[in-house]
Amino acid sequence: MKKITALLGTAILCATAATANAAERPDIYVVKFRANDCANCAVMESKLDNAMNMVRSSKVELVTIDTSNALKWEVSAHTAFDRNITKQYNKWAGLTGFTAVIDRQSGRTLGCLNDNADVYKTANFIKAAAGLPHDQAVANRTGQFRCPAAHNVDPGK
């Protein structure tokens, strides 16, 4: 009887933990593609940090894909896998100096930001993607948030 009670208690604890983790997951991933040798990454990262400070929400998670060296590349691959953004990782790993805004639930890329992006517009784009209050006039101009072409393509295609 003690074993059954212990197993039941463990199952309830695991279910509670799984529910808590699911509730804490963000709605949007803001994925920064960077490397140490990237010429425009410092500007992009500074603007992105300011924009993320304007957003400040648990609905948004900043994820870094760093391809500066082999170890960081591997860690970034695991990070992408853990967040189910391998499609974007495979498409752009090695390309740096931009940020992709990705919907966690659908896995769809909503837009991209680069070092030329205005901090205010960037923050509003991220807020709109996460369903947070934002400036409609800024957030609806999604043509300015186009993503770069695929960096990694299958040579057989």
pLDDT band at 149 (very low <50, low <70, confident <90, very high): confident
Nearest 5°: the CA angle 73, 78, 76 is 30
Domain annotation covers residue 78:
yes
* Number of domains observed in the structure of the chain: 1
109-114, strands of its sheet edge to edge: 60-66, 28-34, 98-103, 109-114
Domain annotation covers residue 15:
no
Domain annotation covers residue 128:
yes
- Residue predicted with more confidence, 11 or 79: 79
Render pLDDT for 29-86 as a digit per residue (tens, 0 to 9): 999 999 999 989 999 999 999 999 999 999 999 999 999 999 999 999 999 999 999 9
pLDDT score of 97: 93
pLDDT score of 83: 96
Domain annotation covers residue 137:
yes
Q: What is the mean pLDDT of the chain?
A: 84
Could you give the percent of the chain with pLDDT greater than 90?
63
For the cut 70, the answer to whether the pLDDT of residue 9 exceeds it is: no
Domain annotation covers residue 95:
yes
What is the rounded CA–CA span in Å between residue 128 and residue 121? 10
pTM of the model: 0.79
Burial of 130 from C-beta contacts in 10 A (0-12 / 13-18 / 19+) = buried
Query: What domain range includes position 128?
Result: 26-145
Domain annotation covers residue 153:
no
Which CATH number fits the domain that encloses residue 122? 3.40.30.10
Domain annotation covers residue 85:
yes
pLDDT band at 8 (very low <50, low <70, confident <90, very high): very low
For the cut 80, the answer to whether the pLDDT of residue 155 exceeds it is: no
For tokens 């709109």, the residue is: 128
What is the rounded CA–CA span in Å between residue 1 and residue 16? 23
